Amino acid sequence: MGLHSPGSMRRLILLEPLDSSQMSHHRHSPEWRAVGASCAAAIACSAVAQVTWHVDDDCRGPGSGTPADPFCTIQDAIDEASDFDDVVVAPGTYFEAIDLSGKAISVRSAAGAKTTIIDATGLGQVSVVTCDAGEGPDTLLEGFTLTGGRGTDPGDGVGRGGGMYVVGSGPTIADCVFTGNTAARGGGMYDSNGAPVLSGCVFTANAATSLGGECTVCRAA
């Protein structure tokens, strides 16, 4: 799925042509210099390119995110990425839990959920994926199996969202498999006052001790 910065939209301004005497007068005016500075800034901004960061569990470590020297963990790539960057994850099992950190980035597997697994087994009471920093639809997670999560405790002793913990956020989740996660509430996913968009996802064999084995959705009254 391609993501595009709102800054990539261009605005056309039509100007009447100036003759040589008008050009000489206007180019020395403060307004003309201001327009020139604005144009230079716009050109500089448009030159910033989207960066693709690479992750592979078969790595030398710690990596720099290039194809030849990939990061070993998905979280390292997320931490390095800026808005509208792309994180591409090679097939493998990644024993970690990730936080998308409010960034408008895509985190996607190169070969799909069957061969690309994020496994939080043994990491304690954590969700496999956390989105609680205002992520919007330009934050994309695509093509992973999420397993082994036990949920996030927000401070009341109750674990929420074994597979994914969403609070006040609306990320896009595509073609992911939520399986083998547990929590008190929302074994597969817990969504509180968010608006996640799910497409092609599968929830199976998740469990909750209190509410919502596969998914719990909570909205403020």
Whole-number mean pLDDT of the chain? 84
C-alpha to C-alpha distance for 86 and 76, rounded to whole angstroms: 13
- For residue 148, pLDDT over 80 is answered with yes
Q: Residue 217: its pLDDT value, please?
A: 78
* Strongest mean pLDDT among 6-20, 36-50, 142-156: 142-156
Is the predicted pLDDT of residue 112 greater than 70, yes or no?
yes
Looking at the chain, which runs of residues are DSSP E strands? 52-55, 86-89, 92-94, 98-99, 106-109, 116-119, 129-131, 140-142, 145-147, 164-167, 172-174, 177-179, 182-185, 189-192, 197-199, 202-204, 207-211, 215-218
Q: What is the DSSP string of 57-107?
A: SS-SSS--SSSSS-BSSHHHHHHH--TT-EEEE-SEEE---EE-TT---EE
pLDDT tops 80 at residue 204:
yes
pLDDT at 46 over 80: no
pLDDT tens-place string over residues 90-109? 999 999 999 999 999 999 99
CB atoms within 10 A of CB 121: 13
pTM of this prediction? 0.78
pLDDT at site 35: 44
Query: Where does residue 130 fall: left (phi above 0), alpha (psi -120 to 50 degrees), or beta otherwise?
Result: beta
Percent of the chain at pLDDT > 70 equals 76
What is the average per-residue pLDDT within 24-30? 51
The percent of the chain in helix, strand and coil, each rounded to the nearest 5, is 15, 30, 55
Task: Supply the pLDDT for residue 90.
Answer: 98
At residue 48 the predicted structure's pLDDT band, cuts being 50, 70 and 90, is low
* Confidence at residue 17, expressed as pLDDT on a 0 to 100 scale: 45
Check if the beta carbon of residue 128 is closer than 8 Å to that of residue 149: yes
Asked whether the beta carbons of 110 and 104 are under 8 A apart, the reply is no
What pLDDT was estimated at residue 29?
A: 53
